[in-house]
Structure 1
Amino acid sequence: MNWREWQGRQEVMELGSRFVSYVDWGSGPPVVLLHGIPNWSYLWSGIAPGLAESYRVLAPDLLGYGFSDRRDRFDRSISRQAEALEAWMDRLGVVDATVVGHDVGGGVAQQLAVRFPQRVGRLCLMDSVCYDAWPKGLMAQLGTPAMARRLTPERLTRFLTQALKRKGFATPQTAEMLEGLLAPYATEVGMVSLSRDAVALNTNQTLELASKLGHLAVPVLVLWGEKDGILPAKYGERLAWDIPGARWMKVPNAGHFVMWDAPHAVAMELFRFLEGAAPVSHSTTRSVAEELWGSEAPVPA
Structure 2
Amino acid sequence: MRPELTDWLARGRYFEHDGQRTFYIREGSGPTLLLIHGYPFNSYDWHRIWPDLTAHYDVIAPDMLGMGFSDKPIRHTYSVLEHATRHDALLRQLDVPHTLLLAHDLGVSVAQELLARRVDGAEVPGIDAVVFLNGGLFAEAYRPRLVQKLLTSPLGNIAGPLMTDGLVKASVREMFGPATKPTDDEMRVLLEVLFYNRGRFVSHLVGRFIDERVTFRDRWAEPLVHATVPMRMINGSLDPNSGAHMAARYREIVPNPDIVSLPEIGHWPQLEDPRGVFEAAHAFLQQNSGD
Question: What is the TM-score of this pair, normalised by structure 2?
Answer: 0.87
Are 2:91 and 1:89 equivalent residues in the alignment?
yes
Count of residues in Structure 1 that have an aligned counterpart in Structure 2: 279
Contact 2:176 2:265 in 1 (8 A): no
Counterparts of 1:244 and 1:90, CA distance in 2: 31
Counterparts of 2:143 and 2:89, CA distance in 1: 26
The corresponding residue for 1:34 is 36
The corresponding residue for 1:200 is 209
Are 2:277 and 1:266 equivalent residues in the alignment?
yes
Secondary structure, counterpart of 1:186 in structure 2: helix
**Offset at 1:266?**
0.8
Secondary structure, counterpart of 1:124 in structure 2: strand
Q: Does the C-alpha gap of structure 1 residues 152 and 115 become closer, same or farther in structure 2, counting only changes over 3 Å?
A: closer
Q: Which of 158, 168, 171 lines up with 1:160 in the alignment?
A: 168
Secondary structure, counterpart of 1:254 in structure 2: coil
Provide the alpha-carbon RMSD of the alignment: 2.2
* Structure 1: 5+ residue stretches without partners: 282-301
Q: Does the C-alpha gap of structure 1 residues 150 and 55 become closer, same or farther in structure 2, counting only changes over 3 Å?
A: closer
Q: Which of 216, 220, 229 lines up with 1:209 in the alignment?
A: 220
The corresponding residue for 2:135 is 128
Are 2:224 and 1:222 equivalent residues in the alignment?
no
The corresponding residue for 1:146 is 155
Secondary structure, counterpart of 1:227 in structure 2: coil
The residue identity in structure 2 corresponding to 1:161 is: K
Counterparts of 2:64 and 2:242, CA distance in 1: 20
Counterparts of 1:150 and 1:73, CA distance in 2: 17
Counterparts of 1:26 and 1:229, CA distance in 2: 34
Contact 1:99 1:122 in 2 (8 A): yes
Counterparts of 2:217 and 2:262, CA distance in 1: 24
Counterparts of 2:85 and 2:11, CA distance in 1: 24
Q: Does the C-alpha gap of structure 1 residues 112 and 248 become closer, same or farther in structure 2, counting only changes over 3 Å?
A: same
Contact 1:218 1:280 in 2 (8 A): no
**Offset at 1:2?**
2.7
* Structure 2: 5+ residue stretches without partners: 120-124
**Offset at 1:201?**
2.6
Structure 1 runs of 4+ with >6 Å offset: none
**Offset at 1:197?**
0.6
Counterparts of 1:78 and 1:119, CA distance in 2: 19
The residue identity in structure 1 corresponding to 2:117 is: R
**Offset at 1:210?**
2.1
The corresponding residue for 2:262 is 251
Q: Which of 106, 109, 116 lines up with 1:107 in the alignment?
A: 109
Question: What is the TM-score of this pair, normalised by structure 1?
Answer: 0.85
Cα offsets for 1:33-58 (capped at 9, x unmatched): 11111111110000011110111111
**Offset at 1:136?**
3.0
Q: Which moved more, 1:2-11 or 1:205-214?
A: 205-214
Among the aligned pairs, what percent are the same residue? 24
The corresponding residue for 1:80 is 82
